[in-house]
Amino acid sequence: MALRVVLLGATGVFGSRIASRLAGDARFALVFAGRHQASLEALREKLGDASVDVAELDVNHASLPDRLARLQPQLIIHTAGPFQGQDYRVAEACIACASDYIDLADGRVFVTGIERLQRRAKEAGRLVVAGASTVPALSSAVVDALRPRFRTLHSIEHAINPGNQTPRGDATVASILGYCGRPIRIWRAGRWNHAFGWMSGKPQVFPFGRRRVGVCEIPDLDLFPARYPEV
């Protein structure tokens, strides 16, 4: 039996990458979901998988729990950001309709706060995962992988350079500009300090050249001090 997967935000930059990896794979019965039927159908056509269902739905609409339940998902992949300022209605609807849930959230408060659903998810036998993307999932995986090379960790600094040629989704741009100039709590020199979004810029050497980086409000800022307490 194929796993029934609802991909929320399927037409977005990241949603469509996931869609293209899952389409045509017999292990998955896919539903592309988002606010615009025509663009969902166009994506299905482009990927050439006529077995994909499409569902028009808005995460902000009161009918969301009912509409998701009617799709009978076993897994919902939520990519419809920005997650900053979102509540947990999608994850809660997943638990209610006995589906697992995974999202790409990069919102600091959103990702750290998902913990509060864990008890309900566990009782329902469901998996609820937030932040399954570059941060904090890949970033912490990199630190974990490098960790054995060091006797102690004194500090962790990580920077991402997405490249100027990569497409930009509205939700990603809204996410990363939302904290521009705003105060950001950072664990530095053994105590909590403040920096400001996209400020404290400095040049960073990457394998492909020198780029300017700035401070971002991401879940790692809370999760790393807890996960790597010696830092």
Ligand X SMILES: NC(=O)c1ccc[n+]([C@@H]2O[C@H](COP(=O)([O-])OP(=O)(O)OC[C@H]3O[C@@H](n4cnc5c(N)ncnc54)[C@H](OP(=O)(O)O)[C@@H]3O)[C@@H](O)[C@H]2O)c1
Binding residues for ligand X, per CB under 6 A?
9-15, 34-36, 39, 58-60, 79-83, 104-106, 131, 133-135, 169-172, 175
φ and ψ at residue 27, rounded to 5 degrees: -75, -15
Q: How far is the CB of 49 from ligand X (least distance, A)?
A: 17
Q: Which is nearer to ligand X, 36 or 147 (CB)?
A: 36
φ and ψ at residue 72, rounded to 5 degrees: 50, 55
Q: Which is nearer to ligand X, 57 or 195 (CB)?
A: 57
Q: Which residue has its beta carbon closest to ligand X?
A: 81
Q: Which is nearer to ligand X, 124 or 178 (CB)?
A: 178
Q: How far is the CB of 13 from ligand X (least distance, A)?
A: 4
φ and ψ at residue 180, rounded to 5 degrees: -60, 120
Q: Which is nearer to ligand X, 60 or 63 (CB)?
A: 60
Task: Give CA torsion, residues 184, 189, 190, 195, to 10 deg.
Answer: -10
CB-based contact 220:143 (threshold 8 Å): no
Q: How far is the CB of 180 from ligand X (least distance, A)?
A: 14
Q: How far is the CB of 156 from ligand X (least distance, A)?
A: 16
Q: Which is nearer to ligand X, 39 or 204 (CB)?
A: 39
C-beta contacts of 213-217 below 8 A and 24+ residues apart: 213/159, 213/161, 215/184, 215/186, 216/176, 216/179, 216/184, 217/108, 217/178, 217/179, 217/182, 217/184
Angle between the N-to-C axes of helices 220-227 and 139-146, in degrees from 0 to 180, rounded to the nearest 10: 30
Q: How far is CA 139 from CA 142, 158, 160, 165, 218, in A?
A: 5, 8, 9, 22, 11
Q: How far is the CB of 33 from ligand X (least distance, A)?
A: 7
Tell me the three state secondary structure of residue 123. helix
Q: Which is nearer to ligand X, 100 or 131 (CB)?
A: 131
Q: How far is the CB of 10 from ligand X (least distance, A)?
A: 6
